[in-house]
Amino acid sequence: MTISIRCAAPADLPLIGQLIRDLAVYEKLAHEVRFDEAVLGEKLFGVNGGHGPYAEVVIGELDGAAQGFALFFHNFSTFEGRPGIYLEDLYVREAARGSGLGKALLAHLAALAVARDCARLEWSVLDWNEPAIGFYRLLGARTMDEWTGMRLVGAALAALGQTAQLGASQP
């Protein structure tokens, strides 16, 4: 069995959309999926007001057939004074689990992080997903139990944003 990892292209957008939906089903979060494929494509592959793509995607293949993906973007560590890579989503189709594809996707991102002089590669995992947690620990990842994730969405995000005084010099 041959494993290959390649950068996604705009033509992969339907595949990426399906893999995101498959991941959401696995995570019992299908009801949370709201993306518009055209908007997703613009954010992944477009210019976005001069910003460039907001995230990157790599596709994992077994014998030339797409079986998984990783979607990631850069963040920044003020303590390190260097960028990092944040893995938003990693998914391998059930039939391909145990093939080494998940490890290959993570190894690819680790190599990118090193090549891009990043201080770290990090991600979140649902606390009930023991198979994934065990897999990540085997690779040398450690849990960050001292941190609590926080998120603003929807009306709360909009309400707080309305309190800001953005000037013309703001990005």
pLDDT at 166: 72
For 12-154, strand residue ranges (E) read: 56-62, 65-77, 82-92, 121-123
Let me know: does 91 contact 22? Beta carbons within 8 Å: yes
Q: What is the pLDDT of residues 67-81, one digit of tens each?
A: 999 999 999 999 999
Q: CA angle, 122 as apex, 93 and 20 as ends, to 5°?
A: 30
Catalytically annotated residues? 136
pLDDT digits (tens, 9 = 90+) for 109-160: 999 999 999 999 999 999 999 999 999 999 999 999 899 889 999 999 999 9
Q: Is residue 89 part of a domain?
A: yes
Tokens of 1: 């069995």
Give the chain's domain count: 1
Domain membership of residue 169 (yes or no) is no
Mean pLDDT of 24-33: 96
168 occurs within a structural domain: no
Task: Report residue 103 as tokens.
Answer: 């490890």
